[in-house]
A and B are shown apart, each in its own frame.
Chain A
Amino acid sequence: MAGLIQEAELFGSDMPRIEGLREKARASFWLPTAKTEAWKYTKLHALKADDFVVAPSKFLEEMEGEAEAEAEEEHCCCGCHHEHNEECSCGHCHGDGEEHECSCCGSKEHLAFAAYELHFENGKFVPIYPATPRGVEIMTLMEALVTGEENHLLGKYIDYAKYPFAALNTAYLEEGVFIRICKGVKLDKPLALINHTQNGGENLLVNLRNLIVLEDGAKAELIEYYRYSGETKSRYFNNIVNEIYLGAGAELNHCRYQNEAFKAVHIALSSVRIKSNGIYNGFCLQKGADLGRSETQVRLLEKDAKAEVNAAYIMNGWATLDTTTDIEHLSSETYSSQLIKGVVGGEAKGVFQGKIHIAPDAQKTEGRQLHKALLLSDNAEIDVKPELEIFADDVKCSHGAACGELDKEQLFYMRSRGIGEEEAKQILIDAYLTDVIARIPDLTLREWLQHEI
């Protein structure tokens, strides 16, 4: 095995700000072992089975004037092949500013509802920008770093000793976007980062880094959608880091949906910092991948900062899906609430690790956490590790965990009305996840994910 850190030619290697970040991260990367506490339930065998490779830098290719060859390549918008002079009929890619359904690809890659879509193909950003309202700035991360727009926020608060895969991500820092929602701007439609892996994504190690800044009073919805089409047995490794900054009174509804190929690896960290009266409402549905970990770190920095970190996972086969949260109440009168629900079948393993930390002067805070899982087979497994670290005395803090099976009486009742066994199970699974899905504030997103269960 070549190891995850390899020689790679990346954009900006002559720029101290960019290369400095990478160098520090390269030196800090370490691979968790069976003895690493934070990874004791989630084993990394899936990473060792293959040699992952990083794709050549698209930024460098473009700079070297290879753009000419592109016409014969896969079409960047929809993945369909087009002859040299034939125009793509999707209308998406000619920048005419209007929103269309993509007619050449059956619109599969587009969401079924209106959103400001940003697409990534096999980990590379497709440079088509939606027409967003004033006060919404979107650019590639490299552009933000080169122009200094990111204000040295990138990587500022991520501890590589704690998050080795964030170090790996930073070592290859290049792809990803910077999004800033300016003061008081409220977005009318969700922003969607659609990550599409398909044939050609085989064995790729993809490192995506997004920096999201909501200034004071801004409000937005952010979707992250990881989807796959192509050889069903493809292996690849999507390693994602989102850094999210919420200003005073800012509100972000963040909805992640991980539906990778069933042999893929998906490890993600969302690191969220919230100022006074800011609200972060996160929801993550994990369904795909052989090894999936969605980790959320929230820092409630000032009074009246609130966070909800909810998640659902559904799995079968031999997958391991891990939901890990770490909520730090660093100021008085801050609030957090978590509901995590899982459905585990086959020989799969669900992992939930939830830490709530309440700092000494974070009085009158509230932290709630509940994890529930439904085991569909005898060989399904659940590992739960709640952790409360409370250093203040006037707090309301609770955690709970429950684990059950499908109710036999309910199944019989439904079947006695003619409903087939599989359908009855699915109805009960849907019902089981209803309350956690209900925590997604937006009806459109709620219906979308309800349908995806």
Chain B
Amino acid sequence: MMSTPLLEIEDLCAGVSGKEIIKDFNLTINEGEIHAIMGPNGAGKSTLSYILCGKPGYEITSGTIKFRGKDLTAMSTEERAREGIFLIMQYPVEIPGVPVTSFLKHAVNAIRKHRGEPELDTMEFIKMVREEGRKLGIDAEMLKRPVNVGFSGGEKKRLETLQMAILKPQLAILDEADSGLDIDAMKVVSAGVNALRSENRSMLIITHFQRLLNYVVPDFVHIFADGHIVKSGDKSLAAELEEKGYAEFVKEK
């Protein structure tokens, strides 16, 4: 089987507020692959995910990022999302006054418009959102509430997963999608993630624990420290890490 590269990051150096956080970072994710990134607090994992989404204020000093062969860095945040990049944020943002359903409708229609598809009928849309919500334990009452406002940590992550399920990205970046989840929620969220697995959809899973990776089994595991990948392996690396901690790997470089 020929693998098609989806995301190609080469010699990336980048940072925020004049501070270099990502240093000589290299990673290629092919279509259909699941990569996990594990690394100590403050290593720059969230920074990497923001850079992939084009968050304002984050700057690339050198290196290249290609998405489906196209220069990703030339695209705005919304263009990247419309092209199929989605980030489950470590800290989802609260938006008072904007109900979940209408927020989702704006997002879905923006992406559909980009693809030249007609806007969704409101009734159909609401039905679909409720259906997807039910699978993730999000009830209709919650869908009426303002985005993330007053949501518990776990509820926020479920809502992120719901958005991902509805927007069906080609590259999903999960930044600690598992933090704050109880055991049942972990199963529900993992099932949501697994349901999205397909031949041409790829995922980059950032996590601190092997737990999530037991449910969503990655093809590759990378250890990220000091701004770049210090070691790569298969899923057994996660188990090894769990046992030994980071100290050994970080020393290796």
Contacts and interface: CB of A to CB of B under 8 A. Distances in A.
A211 to B, nearest CB: 38
Contacts of B217: none
B72 interface: no
A417 B107 contact: yes
Interface residues of B, number: 28
A412 interface: yes
Contacts of B98: 427-428, 430-431
A432 interface: yes
Interface stretch (A115-123, A156-164, A191-199, A418-426): A418-426
A413 B95 contact: yes
Contact of B89 (A413, A421, A434): A413
A412 B49 CA distance: 13
Given A410-B95, A431-B97, A432-B97, A416 B81 contact: yes
A37 B186 CA distance: 63
Contact of A431 (B55, B82, B96): B96
B110 A410 contact: no
B106 to A, nearest CB: 5
Contacts of A419: 78, 106-107, 110
Interface string B41-58: 000000000000101100
A413 B78 contact: no
Contacts, number: 74
B110 A428 contact: no
Given A408-B56, A412-B56, A413-B92, A418 B97 contact: no
A407 B147 CA distance: 14
A415 interface: yes
B95 A418 contact: no
Contacts of A408: 56
A64 interface: no
A432 B110 CA distance: 22
A265 B93 CA distance: 41
Interface in B128-158: 146
Given A416-B77, A417-B103, 14 more contacts: A410-B93, A412-B55, A412-B93, A413-B89, A413-B95, A414-B107, A418-B107, A418-B167, A419-B110, A427-B106, A431-B96, A431-B98, A431-B146, A434-B97
15 contacts: A407-B93, A409-B93, A412-B55, A412-B77, A418-B81, A418-B114, A419-B106, A421-B78, A423-B106, A428-B95, A428-B98, A431-B95, A431-B98, A432-B97, A435-B97
